[in-house]
Amino acid sequence: MTDLFVAAEEAEEHASPIDPGPFAEQVVEGVFGWMQTMSIHLGLELGWYRALREKPCTASELAAATDSSERYAREWLEQQAAYDILAVDDADAAPGARRFALPRDRAEVLLDGRSLAFAGPLTSMLAASAAQLPRLVEAYRTGGGVSWEQLGDLARTSQADLNRPWFDALPAELTKIGDLRSILSRPGARVVDVGCGAGWSAIALAREFPGLEVVGIDIDAPSIEMARRNAAEAGSGIAQRVRFEHDDAANLAAHGPFDVALALECLHDMPYPVSALSAMREAVRPDGAVLVLDEAVNDRFRRNPGDVEKLMYGYSLFVCLPDSLSHPDSFATGTVIRPEVVADYARRAGFRGADVVLDEFGFWRLYQLSVA
């Protein structure tokens, strides 16, 4: 028996009777959280929040506006009021006469895709993961994985929508770092956005720097198709300066050279991160820059790490680690990628190290990789 268990048993001998109440409350609170999360996902998928943003509704009015079931709508409306998400005008009215409204602050969090407070897509990501629970259980038994392809379009859209407002704000932050503004403003400057997903970061860069050419690379073909559609709809000649390629990061040399290489919120997902970083180093001009944006977790494991790290552990359990392990011989980094891990990958890829140049940007930290 380990010293830890011996100490625990000795402590129990001298302790007062065990009270399971606090942990039972924690479990029940978690159940409430899951119920709220899934109910929000229902409201988003069915268009119920969008209808309520337009005007307060009774159950019958909401059902008619969204072509959905009145009985389900009534139960959902009451549950949303019980969870303090919706307001109700007269709780004592007959069930069919109660009118519910979506307060402005809730609408921003759930529906405003340009707000930095936008959190609705988090619920959709959990719903995508929940649909794969049988596969996840099997993967946990065998050491296998659940791929991004298996998580499907709901996960893709969720991740893209959640990241978009932050990626829109990122170019302004980049220009404050060292000589990045001058590099990005060079005539004919080229940037590669590795793991570009739905393309919002590439589009934001092209919008900020009218002379910039941006190439987005992603191994996920449906994400590339989304990115191309988003660029085509962006206007301002964006589609003429942003190109998206379905390719592996290891093949960057075929698309280069570049003045700047970015890996935004994706290094921890990559099964072979060192190969990707090495390819970025080789594809960038000697006077260029390589930057990595990834999770702003603590520099070491802690018992009470804070909300950001708790969120990242959740993502790691249900999304990122299973996706990484769906590839053979994966590095299996997981979402909780600490600064020492980023620095280690950078050194193994031929860089001198990874310097933190922006310690906190949303859930993320920005590193600049220095050439050895």
Q: Where are the domains of the chain?
A: 20-109, 162-300+328-371
For residue 1, the model assigns a pLDDT of: 47
For residue 21, the model assigns a pLDDT of: 86
Cα–Cα distance between 296 and 218 in angstroms, integer? 23
Burial of 12 (0-12, 13-18, 19+ CB in 10 A): exposed
| Fold annotation for 20-109 | Arc Repressor Mutant, subunit A (1.10.10)
For residue 9, the model assigns a pLDDT of: 54
Cα–Cα distance between 297 and 170 in angstroms, integer? 19
For residue 19, the model assigns a pLDDT of: 79
Q: Kindly tell me the sign of the dihedral angle through the C-alpha atoms of 237, 249, 218, 273.
A: negative
CATH 3.40.50.150 fits 162-300+328-371, yes or no: yes
Cα–Cα distance between 45 and 158 in angstroms, integer? 12
What number of CA atoms fall less than 13 Å from residue 292's CA on the CB side?
A: 31
For residue 364, the model assigns a pLDDT of: 97
Cα–Cα distance between 176 and 179 in angstroms, integer? 8
The total number of residues written for the chain in this structure: 372
Residue 358 CA, chain-centre distance (Å), reads 18
Query: pLDDT means per 10 residues in the chain (372 residues)?
Result: 53 62 92 96 98 98 98 98 96 93 98 96 96 98 97 96 96 92 93 97 96 96 97 92 95 93 97 97 95 97 94 97 97 98 97 95 95 68
Amino acid code (one letter) for 318: F
